Amino acid sequence: MEKEKMYEREVGKIVAGNYAAARVFAQYGIDFCCHGDTPLEAACAGNGVSVEEVTAALEAAGDARPVAGEFASWPLDLLIDYILKIHHRGIRREGPGILELLEKVESVHGSRHPELHEVKELFAESLQELEQHLQKEENVLFPYLLELFEASEAGRPIGQMHCGTVSNPIRVMRMEHEGEGDRYHRVAGLTDNFTAPDDGCASYRLVMQQLKEFVDALYEHIHLENNILFPKAVELERKWVRVC
């Protein structure tokens, strides 16, 4: 691809086309999930990095497909199934244990590392907010998207969503995604990008590792929805929803 065109491409679409780009963007601090609609050149400028350097790194990264397959090519129902079974389950399975360990580390190291108090509070708030977010997706948005997909497969139009258009709940989901992105940028800053201090014990190192893995999975979750699932849903609605 010509460099000029690459500079104009949205970072979320770059990752959707080649997941190896996710590692490059993470290295340069470029947010490809919550702000995936930002053109590459603007994203680099916003982070004070050279677009030429980032482009060279993207080219060097080559092609990489997620273990589960090429997400951008998946049908909408398979993508939703993956999000539910990998990401929704993962948040509910891993979150409480991380919070429990974080509370123990805070009780031991909080006097020397007071930032742990805010980290714990931020993570606890995140789990509460994420649970509400997941329930909105599971009970409101995803059921309609599955109906929409089934209708498109059968070649028959369906009526509008009770919200008027899928863009309305999608707008809310995107706002909540951005809130989580901002929250974990703060956590990353407080923890030196999830690094335990020199005097940290094994539990301190473990909880930082677990937090980093949790956030990486959350960013993939947000990327899949913002940059792949939601655009697919809007396009299906445009083709198959009958306006009453």
Give the model confidence (pLDDT) of 87-142 as tens digits. 999 999 999 999 999 999 999 999 999 999 999 999 999 999 999 999 999 999 99
pLDDT in tens, 18-52: 878 888 998 898 998 888 889 999 999 999 999 99
CB 214 within 8 Å of CB 122? no
- The gap between the terminal CA atoms of the chain, to the nearest Å, is 43
Give the chain's domains with CATH numbers. 3-61 (1.10.3910), 74-242 (no CATH)
pLDDT in tens, 42-79: 999 999 999 999 999 998 886 654 444 489 899 999 99
**Residue 80 pLDDT level (bands cut at 50, 70, 90):** very high
Give CA–CA dist 21/122, Å, rounded.
28
DSSP state of 38: S
